[in-house]
Amino acid sequence: MGNDYFRFKQFIVKQGSASMKVGVDSVLLGAWADTENPDRILDVGAGTGLLALMMAQRYPDAVIDAVEIDGEACQQAVENVANSIWSGRIRVICNDFIDYAENSPFRYDMIISNPPYFTASLKPQDEKRNIARHNDSLPHCCLLAGSAKLLAPAGVLAVVLPPAEASTIIDEAATYHLFVKRTLHVQTLPSKPVYRILTELSKTSPLSFEKGLGEELLCIEKSDRSDYTDDYKQLTRDFYLKF
Protein backbone atom coordinates (compact mmCIF):
# COMPACT_ATOMS: atom_id res chain seq x y z
CA MET A 1 0.00 0.00 0.00
CA GLY A 2 2.98 2.29 -0.59
CA ASN A 3 1.77 3.58 -3.96
CA ASP A 4 1.03 7.25 -4.64
CA TYR A 5 -2.64 6.37 -4.98
CA PHE A 6 -5.13 3.67 -3.97
CA ARG A 7 -8.12 2.94 -6.19
CA PHE A 8 -11.44 1.97 -4.66
CA LYS A 9 -14.64 1.10 -6.53
CA GLN A 10 -16.09 4.61 -6.45
CA PHE A 11 -13.13 6.88 -5.67
CA ILE A 12 -9.35 7.20 -5.75
CA VAL A 13 -7.20 8.21 -2.77
CA LYS A 14 -3.96 9.98 -3.69
CA GLN A 15 -1.51 9.61 -0.81
CA GLY A 16 1.89 10.82 -1.98
CA SER A 17 1.95 13.68 0.56
CA ALA A 18 0.43 11.71 3.43
CA SER A 19 2.56 10.33 6.24
CA MET A 20 0.08 7.50 6.84
CA LYS A 21 -1.04 5.63 3.73
CA VAL A 22 -4.32 3.82 3.08
CA GLY A 23 -4.51 0.86 5.44
CA VAL A 24 -6.79 -2.00 6.40
CA ASP A 25 -7.69 -0.43 9.78
CA SER A 26 -9.40 2.60 8.24
CA VAL A 27 -11.14 0.56 5.55
CA LEU A 28 -12.54 -1.82 8.16
CA LEU A 29 -13.71 1.06 10.34
CA GLY A 30 -15.30 2.93 7.45
CA ALA A 31 -17.15 -0.18 6.33
CA TRP A 32 -18.22 -1.31 9.82
CA ALA A 33 -19.21 1.87 11.70
CA ASP A 34 -22.92 2.46 11.41
CA THR A 35 -25.66 4.88 12.31
CA GLU A 36 -29.20 5.42 11.06
CA ASN A 37 -29.91 8.22 8.60
CA PRO A 38 -27.12 10.61 9.70
CA ASP A 39 -27.38 14.28 8.78
CA ARG A 40 -23.80 15.21 9.69
CA ILE A 41 -20.65 13.11 10.20
CA LEU A 42 -17.22 14.18 11.49
CA ASP A 43 -13.93 12.49 10.52
CA VAL A 44 -11.26 13.27 13.14
CA GLY A 45 -7.65 13.04 11.96
CA ALA A 46 -8.78 12.78 8.36
CA GLY A 47 -5.37 12.17 6.77
CA THR A 48 -5.98 11.52 3.07
CA GLY A 49 -9.74 11.87 3.54
CA LEU A 50 -10.38 8.13 3.18
CA LEU A 51 -12.95 7.82 5.97
CA ALA A 52 -14.75 10.97 4.88
CA LEU A 53 -15.02 9.57 1.35
CA MET A 54 -16.26 6.22 2.63
CA MET A 55 -18.91 7.96 4.72
CA ALA A 56 -20.02 10.01 1.71
CA GLN A 57 -20.39 6.83 -0.32
CA ARG A 58 -22.34 4.99 2.37
CA TYR A 59 -24.60 7.85 3.45
CA PRO A 60 -25.74 9.82 0.37
CA ASP A 61 -27.76 12.36 2.38
CA ALA A 62 -25.10 13.19 4.96
CA VAL A 63 -22.78 16.21 5.15
CA ILE A 64 -19.25 15.23 6.21
CA ASP A 65 -16.70 17.43 7.97
CA ALA A 66 -13.09 16.21 8.04
CA VAL A 67 -10.59 17.71 10.50
CA GLU A 68 -6.85 17.24 9.98
CA ILE A 69 -4.01 19.01 11.83
CA ASP A 70 -1.20 18.34 9.31
CA GLY A 71 -1.12 20.90 6.50
CA GLU A 72 0.21 18.63 3.76
CA ALA A 73 -2.19 15.81 4.62
CA CYS A 74 -5.00 18.35 4.68
CA GLN A 75 -4.14 19.50 1.16
CA GLN A 76 -4.04 15.86 0.04
CA ALA A 77 -7.52 15.35 1.51
CA VAL A 78 -8.78 18.50 -0.23
CA GLU A 79 -7.49 17.14 -3.55
CA ASN A 80 -9.05 13.72 -3.02
CA VAL A 81 -12.39 15.23 -2.08
CA ALA A 82 -12.32 17.60 -5.06
CA ASN A 83 -11.70 14.67 -7.40
CA SER A 84 -14.62 12.68 -5.99
CA ILE A 85 -18.30 12.84 -6.92
CA TRP A 86 -19.13 13.96 -3.37
CA SER A 87 -17.12 17.20 -3.23
CA GLY A 88 -20.26 19.21 -2.49
CA ARG A 89 -20.93 17.25 0.70
CA ILE A 90 -17.43 17.03 2.24
CA ARG A 91 -15.67 19.93 3.95
CA VAL A 92 -11.98 19.53 4.87
CA ILE A 93 -10.82 21.65 7.82
CA CYS A 94 -7.13 22.14 8.63
CA ASN A 95 -7.30 22.53 12.38
CA ASP A 96 -6.54 20.94 15.70
CA PHE A 97 -9.49 18.81 16.86
CA ILE A 98 -9.32 20.23 20.39
CA ASP A 99 -9.78 23.75 19.04
CA TYR A 100 -12.42 22.59 16.56
CA ALA A 101 -14.45 20.86 19.27
CA GLU A 102 -14.34 23.96 21.43
CA ASN A 103 -15.67 26.24 18.70
CA SER A 104 -17.79 24.18 16.32
CA PRO A 105 -21.51 25.04 16.23
CA PHE A 106 -22.41 21.62 14.81
CA ARG A 107 -23.58 18.41 16.46
CA TYR A 108 -22.81 15.10 14.79
CA ASP A 109 -24.71 11.87 14.36
CA MET A 110 -21.39 10.07 13.95
CA ILE A 111 -17.80 10.91 14.78
CA ILE A 112 -15.34 8.49 13.20
CA SER A 113 -11.60 8.28 13.80
CA ASN A 114 -8.56 6.09 13.27
CA PRO A 115 -6.72 7.95 16.03
CA PRO A 116 -3.01 8.01 16.86
CA TYR A 117 -2.35 5.51 19.60
CA PHE A 118 1.33 5.07 20.45
CA THR A 119 2.10 6.62 23.82
CA ALA A 120 5.46 5.39 25.07
CA SER A 121 7.06 3.57 22.14
CA LEU A 122 10.16 4.72 20.25
CA LYS A 123 9.08 7.50 17.94
CA PRO A 124 10.03 7.50 14.25
CA GLN A 125 12.43 10.02 12.78
CA ASP A 126 9.77 11.41 10.41
CA GLU A 127 8.00 14.18 12.33
CA LYS A 128 4.82 13.98 10.23
CA ARG A 129 4.60 10.21 10.75
CA ASN A 130 5.33 10.83 14.43
CA ILE A 131 2.29 13.14 14.71
CA ALA A 132 0.11 10.68 12.80
CA ARG A 133 1.02 7.66 14.92
CA HIS A 134 1.58 9.06 18.44
CA ASN A 135 -1.19 10.58 20.51
CA ASP A 136 0.75 13.57 21.84
CA SER A 137 -1.20 15.87 19.51
CA LEU A 138 -4.55 14.19 20.27
CA PRO A 139 -4.59 12.38 23.63
CA HIS A 140 -7.50 9.99 23.91
CA CYS A 141 -8.96 12.05 26.74
CA CYS A 142 -9.20 15.00 24.33
CA LEU A 143 -10.80 12.85 21.63
CA LEU A 144 -13.37 11.63 24.16
CA ALA A 145 -14.05 15.06 25.66
CA GLY A 146 -14.44 16.71 22.26
CA SER A 147 -16.64 13.91 20.98
CA ALA A 148 -18.88 14.03 24.03
CA LYS A 149 -19.38 17.73 23.36
CA LEU A 150 -20.01 17.40 19.62
CA LEU A 151 -22.16 14.26 19.49
CA ALA A 152 -25.90 14.55 19.03
CA PRO A 153 -27.90 12.78 21.78
CA ALA A 154 -28.18 9.57 19.74
CA GLY A 155 -24.78 9.96 18.05
CA VAL A 156 -21.92 7.44 18.05
CA LEU A 157 -18.14 7.73 18.24
CA ALA A 158 -16.47 4.98 16.20
CA VAL A 159 -12.74 4.25 16.59
CA VAL A 160 -10.21 1.53 15.77
CA LEU A 161 -7.35 0.77 18.14
CA PRO A 162 -5.01 -2.04 19.25
CA PRO A 163 -6.52 -4.12 22.10
CA ALA A 164 -4.63 -2.48 24.98
CA GLU A 165 -5.45 1.04 23.83
CA ALA A 166 -9.05 0.07 23.08
CA SER A 167 -9.45 -1.25 26.61
CA THR A 168 -8.02 1.96 28.02
CA ILE A 169 -10.23 4.28 25.97
CA ILE A 170 -13.33 2.21 26.81
CA ASP A 171 -12.57 2.50 30.52
CA GLU A 172 -11.85 6.22 30.22
CA ALA A 173 -14.96 6.88 28.11
CA ALA A 174 -17.30 6.44 31.08
CA THR A 175 -15.78 9.58 32.58
CA TYR A 176 -17.27 11.48 29.64
CA HIS A 177 -20.59 9.61 29.82
CA LEU A 178 -19.80 7.57 26.72
CA PHE A 179 -20.46 3.84 26.79
CA VAL A 180 -19.79 0.88 24.53
CA LYS A 181 -22.51 0.20 22.00
CA ARG A 182 -20.78 -2.61 20.09
CA THR A 183 -17.30 -3.88 19.23
CA LEU A 184 -15.60 -5.85 16.50
CA HIS A 185 -12.49 -7.86 17.37
CA VAL A 186 -10.23 -8.41 14.35
CA GLN A 187 -7.76 -11.23 13.67
CA THR A 188 -5.56 -11.53 10.59
CA LEU A 189 -5.68 -15.36 10.74
CA PRO A 190 -7.57 -17.86 12.95
CA SER A 191 -4.28 -18.81 14.62
CA LYS A 192 -3.37 -15.20 15.43
CA PRO A 193 -4.50 -13.11 18.41
CA VAL A 194 -6.86 -10.17 18.04
CA TYR A 195 -4.79 -7.23 16.78
CA ARG A 196 -7.43 -4.49 16.42
CA ILE A 197 -10.69 -3.65 18.13
CA LEU A 198 -13.31 -1.48 16.46
CA THR A 199 -15.55 0.21 19.00
CA GLU A 200 -18.68 2.33 18.89
CA LEU A 201 -19.35 4.54 21.91
CA SER A 202 -22.59 6.36 22.60
CA LYS A 203 -24.23 8.34 25.37
CA THR A 204 -26.41 5.37 26.26
CA SER A 205 -25.31 1.80 26.96
CA PRO A 206 -27.63 -0.79 25.38
CA LEU A 207 -28.59 -3.88 27.35
CA SER A 208 -27.58 -6.04 24.39
CA PHE A 209 -23.90 -5.22 24.91
CA GLU A 210 -24.11 -5.79 28.65
CA LYS A 211 -25.24 -9.33 27.81
CA GLY A 212 -22.31 -9.76 25.43
CA LEU A 213 -24.44 -9.56 22.29
CA GLY A 214 -22.67 -6.46 20.99
CA GLU A 215 -19.31 -8.21 20.57
CA GLU A 216 -18.35 -9.58 17.16
CA LEU A 217 -15.26 -11.35 15.81
CA LEU A 218 -13.85 -10.95 12.30
CA CYS A 219 -11.01 -12.95 10.78
CA ILE A 220 -9.53 -11.37 7.65
CA GLU A 221 -7.87 -14.40 6.07
CA LYS A 222 -8.35 -18.17 6.18
CA SER A 223 -5.50 -20.53 6.99
CA ASP A 224 -3.69 -19.47 3.81
CA ARG A 225 -2.73 -15.84 3.43
CA SER A 226 -4.59 -13.88 0.73
CA ASP A 227 -7.46 -16.38 0.93
CA TYR A 228 -9.92 -13.92 2.41
CA THR A 229 -12.85 -14.97 4.56
CA ASP A 230 -16.41 -14.49 3.37
CA ASP A 231 -17.11 -12.18 6.32
CA TYR A 232 -14.23 -9.88 5.36
CA LYS A 233 -15.30 -9.83 1.71
CA GLN A 234 -18.88 -9.08 2.66
CA LEU A 235 -17.87 -6.20 4.93
CA THR A 236 -15.53 -4.50 2.44
CA ARG A 237 -16.99 -5.49 -0.95
CA ASP A 238 -18.51 -2.06 -1.61
CA PHE A 239 -15.03 -0.55 -1.57
CA TYR A 240 -12.25 -2.97 -2.60
CA LEU A 241 -11.90 -3.63 -6.32
CA LYS A 242 -10.78 -7.23 -5.70
CA PHE A 243 -14.13 -8.13 -4.15
Domains assigned to the chain: 5-236 (3.40.50.150)
More confident residue, 128 or 186: 186
Instruction: Report pLDDT for 131.
Output: 46
In 3D space, the residue among 4, 110, 115 whose CA is nearest the CA of residue 58 turns out to be: 110
Lowest mean pLDDT among 26-30, 57-61, 131-135, 148-152: 131-135
Lowest mean pLDDT among 34-38, 58-62, 186-190, 214-218: 214-218
Task: Please provide the average confidence, as pLDDT, over all residues in the chain.
Answer: 89
Percentage of residues of the chain with pLDDT beyond 90:
80
Q: What is the pLDDT of residue 44?
A: 98
**pLDDT: which is higher, 64 or 16:** 64
Please tell me which residue, 138 or 142, carries the higher pLDDT value. Answer: 142
Q: Quote the pTM value.
A: 0.89
The number of C-alpha atoms within 13 Å of 121 and in the hemisphere containing its C-beta is: 10
Q: What are the start-end ranges of the H helices in the chain?
A: 24-32, 50-58, 71-82, 97-103, 127-133, 140-150, 163-173, 207-210, 230-236
C-alpha pair distances (Å), 83 with each of 86, 119, 139, 215, 237: 8, 35, 32, 37, 22
pLDDT of residue 204: 86
Which residues contact residue 86 at a Cβ distance below 8 angstroms, ignoring those fewer than 6 apart?
A: 11, 53, 56, 57, 64
Task: Give yes or no for residue 133 having a pLDDT over 70.
Answer: no
Give residue 90's pLDDT.
98
Q: How many CB atoms lie within 10 A of CB 67?
A: 27
For 197-207, how does the pLDDT look when each residue is reduced to its tens digit (9 = 90+)?
999 999 986 65
Task: Quote the pLDDT of residue 74.
Answer: 94
The number of CA neighbours under 13 Å toward the Cβ of 147 is: 37
Summarised one tens digit per residue, pLDDT across range 26-44 is 999 999 999 999 999 999 9
Residue 213: the pLDDT is 60
Q: Are 123 and 154 in contact (CB under 8 A)?
A: no
Indicate whether 91 pLDDT > 90. yes
